[in-house]
Chains A and B, each alone.
Chain A
Amino acid sequence: MIPENRFIELLARQASGEASREDLATLDRACEASAALRTQREGFLAALAAARSDDTADAPGPVLLRAYAIPTLRAAADADRPSRVSLLRVVFDSLRPAAGLRSGATADRQLMLEADGITADVFVRGSGPIRELRVLLEGDDAAHATVHLIHDTGSAAFDLDGDAWTARAPMGRARIEIRVRGRALVTDELALG
C-alpha cells in the first residue's frame, strides 16, 4: 500500500510531466491494487487535461446575488398568491380604435377585458422587439389592484404611472394578471407582437 503523501507527490509529478519511468511504474502498481486510487488518478489527470480547453466563466456578482435571493422571492410570491382566480373575459379585441376604449387611438392592439366588476383597457404598442403595455382599470376595487405580466421569460409587476399601469415586455406570449383583495383576474395567453 502506497502512503497517501507519496501517491499525491507522484500524481503531481505525472501531471506536470516530470514523472520518471520509475514514478509511473509505482503509480501503476498502486492503481492496480486500489480502484479508489485509480479513479482519483484518472479523474485528476482528466480534469487537468480538460483545463486545456477550458471555456468556462465565473458568474458575475450581481447575477449570483439574484440567484441567492430566489428562496426569499419565491416565499414572498407564494405569500402574495391570490387564493381565487377568475378568467378575464375579452369584451373587445381590436387593432382599430373603438368606442368605449379610452385614449387608445395609437395603440397597435387594444383590448377591453372584464371580470368580477373590474374592467381593464389594455393597450399594446411598439414595433421593435420590445412591446409597451398600458393598462387602465375601472371598478369598485380598482384602487386596490396591482397588475402583473406573466411572460414566458418570467413575471414582472407593472408600474403605476398616473392612472395607468405600464410595463415593457419582449415579443412573445404573455398573460396579464390583476391582483386585488386576494383575487387574481387573469387573461388567456395573449400574443405580444
Chain B
Amino acid sequence: MSTTEHQQLVDACLRGGDDAWRAFVDEFSRLVYSIPRRYGFDDAACDDIFQDVFLAAYRKLDTLRDAQSVPKWLITTTVRACGRHAKRTTLPVPPPKPEAVGEDEILRQERLQRLHRGLDEVGGRCRELLLMLHGSHELSYDTVSEALGIPRGSIGPTRQRCLEKLARAMGRRFTEGI
C-alpha cells in the first residue's frame, strides 16, 4: 500500500467500516507485533503491547489521517508502549526511547512491512521460495530443492518468475515514498 492508500484506509476506518478496520490491522500487524518481539518481551506482553497500540490507533484515527506516515506513527507508538511495559518486567536489553529509534531503522521496518505485504500478495510457493533464498537464512539451491520438492535446475527460472511477480506486486508500493 502506498502512503495515499494508507490515508484512504484510515478514512475508511473513520467512516466506521469493520472491514476497513480489519484491513488496517492486517496491513500493520506484522510491523507492530515484531517490535516487542525484537526487544525480548514474552508472548503475553507482546499481545498486550499489540492491543495497546491498535487501541491507541483506533482512538487517534483522526490524528492518523493527517500523519505523514502511518507506519512511522505506529512504530513510534509501539516503541513507547514497549517502554511503558518494560518498567514492569525485566528484559536483557531495555527497549530504546522512541526518539532514539533512528530514521534508518524506521525505514528498514517500513521496507520489511512492504516486502511482506508484497510477499503475501504473491503467496504460495513463490513466497516460500523467495523467503528461503532472500531471507535471513539465505538457503542454498540444494536445500530449497529438497524443502520445496523442486528440481534444482528449475529453481533459477522459478526464482526469476517469482521475483518478477513480487516486483509487480510491490511496484505500486514504491510509487510514493521509500
Contact = CB atoms under 8 A, between A and B. Distances in A.
The answer to whether A and B come from one shared complex is yes
Interface of A: 8-9, 11-13, 15-16, 18, 36, 39-40, 42-44, 46-48, 50-60, 63-64, 66-68, 70-72, 74, 129, 152-154, 170-172
A5 to B, nearest CB: 8
25 contacts: A8-B164, A12-B163, A12-B166, A18-B160, A40-B174, A44-B171, A50-B108, A50-B111, A50-B112, A52-B134, A53-B136, A55-B34, A56-B109, A59-B29, A59-B33, A60-B47, A63-B33, A66-B51, A67-B25, A70-B21, A70-B54, A71-B16, A71-B18, A72-B18, A172-B88
A15 B31 contact: no
Nearest to A36: B175
Given A15-B163, A56-B112, A67-B29, A47 B50 contact: no
B160 A39 contact: no
Interface string B154-178: 0010011001101110110111011
Contacts, number: 149
A52 B111 contact: no
Given A43-B177, A46-B178, A74-B58, 10 more contacts: A8-B167, A12-B166, A39-B174, A47-B111, A55-B38, A56-B30, A66-B47, A68-B18, A68-B25, A129-B88
Nearest to A58: B30
Interface residues of B, number: 58
B135 A52 contact: yes
A52 B131 CA distance: 9
B112 A47 contact: yes
Interface of B: 16, 18, 21-22, 25-26, 29-34, 37-38, 43, 46-48, 50-52, 54-55, 58-59, 84-85, 88, 108-109, 111-116, 118, 131, 133-136, 138, 156, 159-160, 163-164, 166-168, 170-171, 173-175, 177-178
Residue from A51, A74, A172 whose CB has the most chain B CB atoms within 10 Å: A51
A interface, over-half SS: helix
A63 B50 contact: yes
B178 A154 contact: no
